[in-house]
Amino acid sequence: MADCGRGLQQVRNIIAAAHKDCSVLEKLQFYDQWATQYEEDVSILDYKAPHLAALALASVCPLNRESKLVLDVACGTGRAAEELKRCGFTLFHGLDGSAGMLEVAKKKTLYQDLKHGMLGHEQLPYDSDKYDAVIIVGALSDGQVPVSLLPELLRVSKAGGLVCMTTRSNTSNLKYKADLEEEMSSLQSKGFWEQVLVQEVEQWEKATSEKEIAKESDYISGVIYIYRKIPDPSTGS
């Protein structure tokens, strides 16, 4: 656990601020200011999502990982790409709304391409059917990226490509989680993708709200979803 001079309660307050209801511009300014301290702070929360999501994606992509082009959406400081590299992936493009977060990610020299974009508010700045895998860790939650982003994740994936997503299962995020799963199911029922994996994780990260700290644990739970894009039978793509 990193010693960054902040205690757990201070970090909980910061996370609460990240999820508060405010304008998109205010939220991005918050992340810009937080960027240099972000990794140390989330380590205090024992935030496991990037590591667990990378392992999950690797488990359903056993071959030729080094040749798979991965789009890391809401890449932040690059923690998911770091974990994916440990699993044998090597080709990364990254996208985030925070210029400050992207500056930190750029210094890690993990990404062949980094772009700035407003997630969920505009089309992703990529061609359709481009990526072997798309991953978004942490951003799909209440007060963050809207559920309306999902069709865009699907669009930029290749036929047969994988889309890996995470969200929290804590009380304050249950409505968002339900909406997210409804959209996932809708896209599946329409034949756009098929579910490959759902992994529930009991100890996702330490709770940021005192109301959600259970007597036996101060962790909240989370979930990882992986879907595979189904080829369009009329085009084969």
- The predicted-structure confidence for 55-73, as pLDDT tens digits, reads as follows 999 999 999 999 999 999 9
Q: Which of 49, 68, 8 is nearest to 144 (CA)?
A: 49
Using the predicted structure, report yes or no on whether residue 195 has a pLDDT greater than 50: yes
Q: What is the pLDDT of residue 4?
A: 44
Residue 114, domain member (yes or no): yes
Using the predicted structure, report yes or no on whether residue 237 has a pLDDT greater than 90: no
What CATH number did the domain enclosing 63 receive? 3.40.50.150
Using the predicted structure, report yes or no on whether residue 113 has a pLDDT greater than 90: yes
Q: What are phi and psi of 3, to 5 degrees?
A: -105, 95
Using the predicted structure, report yes or no on whether residue 15 has a pLDDT greater than 70: yes
Q: What is the pLDDT of residue 217?
A: 67
If one compares 168 and 4, the residue with the highest pLDDT of the two is: 168
Task: Give the dihedral sign, CA 140/144/148/150.
Answer: negative
Using the predicted structure, report yes or no on whether residue 10 has a pLDDT greater than 60: yes
If one compares 17 and 89, the residue with the highest pLDDT of the two is: 89
Residue 138, domain member (yes or no): yes
Tokens of 81: 């790409």
Using the predicted structure, report yes or no on whether residue 54 has a pLDDT greater than 80: yes
Q: State the pLDDT confidence band at 213, using cuts at 50, 70 and 90.
A: low
Average pLDDT, the chain: 91
If one compares 133 and 18, the residue with the highest pLDDT of the two is: 133
Residue 20, domain member (yes or no): no
Q: What is the pLDDT of residue 13?
A: 78
Residue 236, domain member (yes or no): no
pLDDT mean over 70-85 = 98
Say what the pTM is.
Answer: 0.92
DSSP 163: E
- 3-state helix, strand, coil split of the chain in percent (to 5) is 40, 25, 35
Number of domains in the chain: 1
Residue 29, domain member (yes or no): no
Task: Give the dihedral sign, CA 229/51/72/212.
Answer: positive
Residue 107, domain member (yes or no): yes
Q: What is the pLDDT of residue 11?
A: 82
Using the predicted structure, report yes or no on whether residue 214 has a pLDDT greater than 50: yes
Q: What is the pLDDT of residue 208?
A: 80
30: buried, middle or exposed (CB in 10 Å: 19+, 13-18, 0-12)?
middle
Q: What is the pLDDT of residue 222?
A: 97
Q: State the pLDDT confidence band at 203, using cuts at 50, 70 and 90.
A: very high
Q: What is the pLDDT of residue 5?
A: 55
pLDDT mean over 158-163 = 98
Residue 36, domain member (yes or no): no
Q: Which of 76, 42, 229, 69 is nearest to 151 (CA)?
A: 229
Residues 6+ apart with CB under 8 A from 219: 46, 202, 203, 204, 205, 206, 207
Domain that holds residue 140: 47-229
Q: State the pLDDT confidence band at 229, using cuts at 50, 70 and 90.
A: very high
Using the predicted structure, report yes or no on whether residue 233 has a pLDDT greater than 70: no
Residue 164, domain member (yes or no): yes
